[in-house]
Amino acid sequence: MISWDAIGIGMAFLKNGHGLMIIQSLLGAAVSGFYSGMIVHFSLWYHKREQIMRVAIFHAATAASGAIGNIQVYAISKMKGIANLQDWQWIFLLEYISIIPLAIVTDFFLSNIPDTVRYKNSKLKNNVGGHTKRTIVVGFVSAMGQLGGIMLPHLYREVGKPTTYRVGHSIAVDLLCIALSFTFILRFSLIKENNRQDHLIDDGYKRKATVVEACDRHSDIRYVL
């Protein structure tokens, strides 16, 4: 967050388009891990059923911050000319400077993975299993989710024409149907896997339970559906 804020403050002092492109690239690199990192953090500290509400609050806070931010931007825009700065410069300065104290406090008080926390116990330690796999999966899913933004300009090339929306919407609906189909396939596959785990014989149960860092292959793992 600190690097994110520092780069954001630098945007207030841009002089040309080349500088904007460089700063935007750096800002994107700093921000890119925030969403995935939060999801992984939730997965390390909370049970799957507990994660649902926390992820929902996280998304709701994102939407609420956008609404509050618009009001803040309107108020800051009235500061044009103060200290010989334009209104857009004040917007970048005040919005990002105000986050730095929160970033510092968060760095000191927000716990890392359970395995590195001093006050951890055996129950917390068990929850840390598979954090590498979780990170890879969340990163992969987030990256795949951003492909829609790359495809969008090719689906809606001539904005404003009725045929443009018809073609673009048709492709979007087709992709949603495919995604929904895979969702049902995944659900039925996980139900089948849960049933298989429930009917493991003693030898198979003990063999899988002794695997180090078994993660979702552990005999006691059941997928929450």
For the segment 25-46, what is each residue's pLDDT rounded down to a tens digit?
888 888 877 777 787 777 777 7
Kindly give the interhelix angle for 131-145 and 147-155, rounded to the nearest 10 degrees.
10
Q: Provide the Cα torsion 190, 195, 201, 204; round to 10°.
A: 0
H or E, element range at 99: none
- Beta strands, E only, 168-208: none
H or E, element range at 29: helix 17-45
Domain residue spans of the chain: 1-130, 146-225
pTM of the predicted protein model: 0.53
Cα–Cα distance measured from residue 43 to residue 40, given in angstroms and rounded to the nearest whole number = 5
Q: How many Cα atoms sit within 13 Å of 10 on the Cβ side? A: 16
Burial class (CB in 10 A: 0-12, 13-18, 19+), 39: buried
pLDDT at 127: 52
User: Which tens digits make up the pLDDT trace of 122-154?
Assistant: 555 555 555 566 667 777 777 777 777 777 777
120 pLDDT more than 60? no
> Is residue 155 within 8 Å of residue 172, measured between CB atoms?
yes
Cα–Cα distance measured from residue 37 to residue 156, given in angstroms and rounded to the nearest whole number = 32
Token digits of residue 151? 């495809």
Average pLDDT value for residue range 182-192:
91
